[in-house]
């Protein structure tokens, strides 16, 4: 069934945007009768766009007229720009050139608008030509940590842990697609119906994922995890109440004593951030090799090698996986291996490394409790396809992993360490663990969760390793000799 008929059948009011599957009508496609179908489609798109514009939330006074004006001025400007001699890397020069043309066009067309409107019109046109369109303003705002585009008109942001609707919108599906293209094309990647998922990075290091129709049913979606220019420090985490000074001292001791550590938590719970902070405790004279899907860690030590995976190229060749990199980094004489996240078969290689002299390694795992972390690790080791019996895998886990640091994003948007758990060994078929610290919620005040992380009163067995590293932690750290 043709696209048009499908839409007509749906009554033309399905709430989505233009309804174009991906890129709209194919150039030169739909030979006989194509023109009428295309023009009908275009008219319908325009109607919908107008409707969506009227319904667009949070942009008072910026209705159709604004959009028309922007499109008109922009089209004129683009047609007058000398693309051949334009060197987009020299942003300031190009910007000045665009400003000249912009002023000339407004004067030519006798367009009278206020100074503020003029400025906002100019900025949005520059963002279209040189930047990432409506996303530009969100990308420039350092208080925004995440940007989520669910189709052209529904854009959400995360700020201070809270998710709200952003005050910007794309014109239509095609507009979002243009911006996705602008993000992925310089990296030699593409997105279209045959490969509708793509991972990419912005020039500033922010991670981007895009999904388009037919996989995404709400239109093209973009998720951006913004790269923080100044990574959070241990002092920030203490100040935010994610941990206490005592916990920080304890974790520092664990890292110096070369405990194999897993940071566990859900999406956006702050795993990578905590991994970065913990890796910061590694002494300066040790050789650190980091392995990541998209390099996010920002270590300040000097002796660091950063490795990043690579997807396959357009011919499906050349892929380098986390597992490849873990195996390779064993040949690079590492003192410490830091793997951004274990998601699959690489977990087995990582555990083997931990068990064969590469102690003091660190990684993260997507899981909700320390026990869950163990089950996930088991499943990931099975994914390595080595046909190992479950018991053998459990033994590997029990002897490799020393510490699980469970971080979570609570309902009020705050991130907290919920549990610090020691992995002790095996009893029969079961891996034994002991919680050393846990978060205790005492109440809620003004929507904020109040509580404290407190020792359980159990001394970890690995305390001897910490002592052997020359660090003495007073028993009171573990709640021994104190009343709670
Ligand atoms: N303890 C924390 N308190 C407040 N914000 C945090 C904390 N840890 C991380 N964040 C912020 O949360 C977002 C997600 O953090 P990240 O470490 O990338 O999570 P994950 O790796 O679990 O997906 C980032 O914007 C980061 O700056
Ligand atoms: Mg992460």
Structure tokens at 482: 């104190």
CA atoms within 13 A on the CB side of 261: 31
- Which atom from ligand 1 is nearest to the alpha carbon of 240? 3
Q: Nearest bound ligand to CA 232?
A: 1
Binding site membership of 267 for ligand 1 (Cβ less than 6 Å): yes
Q: pLDDT at residue 56 above 50?
A: no
- Closest C-alpha residue for ligand 1 atom 6: 270
Q: What is the pLDDT of residues 421-453, one digit of tens each?
A: 999 999 999 999 999 999 999 999 998 999 999
Q: Give the pLDDT band (50/70/90) at residue 18.
A: very low
Q: How far is CA 184 from CA 132, 179, 208, in A?
A: 11, 9, 9
pLDDT of residue 21: 38
Q: pLDDT at residue 456 above 80?
A: yes
Closest to 358 in 3D by CA, of 432, 282, 434, 302:
282
> What would the 3-class secondary structure string for 244-293 be?
CHHHHHHHHHHHHCCCCEEEEECCCCCHHHHHHHHHCCCCCCCCEEEEEC
Residues 6+ apart with CB under 8 A from 208: 183, 184, 199, 200, 201, 202, 222, 223, 224
pLDDT of residue 63: 55
Q: Nearest bound ligand to CA 298?
A: 1
User: Cα–Cα distance between 474 and 230 in angstroms, integer?
Assistant: 33
Work out whether strand 448-455 and strand 430-445 pair parallel, antiparallel, or are unpaired.
Answer: antiparallel
pLDDT of residue 84: 61
* Beta carbons within 10 angstroms of residue 146's beta carbon: 18
Give 89 Cα–ligand 2 centroid separation in angstroms: 31
Q: Give the pLDDT band (50/70/90) at residue 46.
A: low
Work out whether strand 415-427 and strand 430-445 pair parallel, antiparallel, or are unpaired.
Answer: antiparallel
Q: Are 260 and 364 in contact (CB under 8 A)?
A: no
Q: What is the pLDDT of residues 222-259, one digit of tens each?
A: 999 998 878 999 999 999 999 999 999 999 999 999 99
**Top mutation candidate among 248, 277, 415 for ligand 1, by most atoms within 8 Å of CB:** 415
pLDDT of residue 187: 85
Q: Give the pLDDT band (50/70/90) at residue 49.
A: low
User: Cα–Cα distance between 437 and 454 in angstroms, integer?
Assistant: 5
Closest to 167 in 3D by CA, of 56, 50, 61:
56
**Top mutation candidate among 158, 242, 273, 274 for ligand 1, by most atoms within 8 Å of CB:** 273
User: Cα–Cα distance between 173 and 170 in angstroms, integer?
Assistant: 8
User: Cα–Cα distance between 114 and 221 in angstroms, integer?
Assistant: 34
Q: Give the pLDDT band (50/70/90) at residue 481.
A: confident
Of 78-82, 321-325, 476-480, which gets the smallest average pLDDT? 78-82
Binding site membership of 419 for ligand 1 (Cβ less than 6 Å): no
Question: Across residues 384-400, what is the average pLDDT?
Answer: 94
Of 142-156, 185-199, 202-216, 278-292, which gets the smallest average pLDDT? 185-199
Give 138 Cα–ligand 1 centroid separation in angstroms: 18
Binding site membership of 415 for ligand 1 (Cβ less than 6 Å): yes
Q: Give the pLDDT band (50/70/90) at residue 55.
A: very low
pLDDT of residue 43: 58
User: Cα–Cα distance between 350 and 321 in angstroms, integer?
Assistant: 13
3-state class (DSSP) for residue 272: helix
Question: Across residues 56-61, what is the average pLDDT?
Answer: 41
pTM of the model: 0.74
Q: pLDDT at residue 24 above 70?
A: no
Question: Across residues 172-200, what is the average pLDDT?
Answer: 90
Structure tokens at 303: 């002796």
pLDDT of residue 37: 59
Work out whether strand 155-159 and strand 162-165 pair parallel, antiparallel, or are unpaired.
Answer: antiparallel
User: Cα–Cα distance between 142 and 133 in angstroms, integer?
Assistant: 17
Question: Across residues 189-214, what is the average pLDDT?
Answer: 91
- Closest C-alpha residue for ligand 1 atom 16: 270
Q: pLDDT at residue 207 above 60?
A: yes
Binding site membership of 260 for ligand 1 (Cβ less than 6 Å): no
> Where do we find the tokens 């798109």?
45
- Which atom from ligand 1 is nearest to the alpha carbon of 145? 25
> Where do we find the tokens 């009020």?
412
Residues 6+ apart with CB under 8 A from 458: 434, 435, 436, 478
Residue bearing the bigger pLDDT, 465 or 310: 465
Mean pLDDT for the chain?
85
Q: Are 247 and 420 in contact (CB under 8 A)?
A: yes
Of 67-81, 84-98, 230-244, 306-320, which gets the smallest average pLDDT? 84-98
Closest to 227 in 3D by CA, of 300, 169, 276, 284:
276
């Amino acid at each position: 069934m043709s696209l048009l008929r499908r839409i007509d059948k749906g009554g033309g009011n399905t709430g989505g945007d233009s309804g174009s599957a991906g890129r709209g009508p194919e150039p030169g496609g739909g030979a006989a009768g194509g023109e009428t179908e295309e023009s009908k489609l275009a008219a319908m798109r325009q109607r919908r766009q107008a409707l969506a514009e009227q319904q667009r939330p949070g942009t008072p006074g910026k209705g159709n007229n604004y959009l028309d004006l922007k499109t008109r001025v922009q089209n004129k400007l683009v047609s007058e720009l000398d693309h051949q001699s334009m060197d987009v890397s020299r942003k300031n020069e190009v910007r000045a050139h665009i400003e000249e043309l912009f002023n000339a066009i407004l004067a030519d067309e006798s367009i009278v608008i206020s100074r503020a409107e003029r400025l906002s019109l100019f900025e949005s046109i520059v963002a279209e030509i040189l930047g990432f369109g409506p996303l530009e303003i969100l990308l420039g705002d350092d208080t925004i940590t995440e940007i989520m585009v669910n189709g052209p008109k529904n854009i959400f942001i995360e700020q201070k842990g809270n998710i709200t609707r952003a005050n910007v919108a794309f014109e239509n599906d095609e507009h979002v697609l243009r911006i996705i293209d602008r993000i992925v094309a310089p990296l030699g990647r593409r997105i279209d119906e045959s490969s509708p998922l793509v991972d990419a990075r912005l020039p500033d290091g922010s991670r981007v994922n895009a999904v388009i129709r037919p996989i995404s049913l709400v239109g093209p979606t973009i998720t951006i995890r913004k790269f923080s220019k100044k990574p959070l420090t241990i002092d920030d985490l203490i100040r935010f109440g994610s941990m206490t000074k005592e916990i920080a001292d304890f974790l520092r001791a664990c890292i110096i004593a070369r405990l194999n550590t897993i940071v566990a938590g859900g999406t956006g719970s702050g795993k990578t951030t905590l991994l970065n902070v913990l890796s910061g405790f590694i002494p300066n004279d040790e050789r650190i090799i980091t392995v990541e899907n998209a390099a996010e860690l920002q270590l300040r030590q000097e002796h660091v090698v950063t490795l990043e995976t690579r997807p396959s190229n357009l011919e499906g060749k050349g892929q380098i996986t986390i597992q490849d990199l873990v195996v390779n980094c064993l040949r690079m004489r590492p003192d410490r291996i830091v793997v951004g996240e274990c998601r699959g078969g690489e977990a087995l290689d990582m555990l083997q490394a931990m068990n064969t002299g590469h102690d003091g390694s660190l990684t993260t795992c997507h899981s909700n409790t320390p026990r869950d972390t163990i089950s996930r690790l088991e499943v990931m080791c099975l994914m390595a396809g080595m046909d190992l019996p479950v018991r053998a895998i459990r033994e590997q886990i029990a002897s490799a992993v020393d510490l699980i640091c469970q971080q979570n994003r609570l309902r009020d948007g705050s991130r907290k360490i919920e549990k610090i758990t020691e992995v002790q060994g095996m009893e029969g078929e079961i891996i034994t663990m002991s919680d050393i610290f846990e978060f205790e919620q005492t109440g809620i005040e003004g929507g904020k969760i109040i509580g404290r992380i407190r020792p359980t009163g159990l001394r970890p067995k690995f305390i001897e390793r910490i002592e052997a590293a020359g660090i003495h932690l007073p028993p009171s750290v573990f709640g021994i000799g104190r009343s709670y």
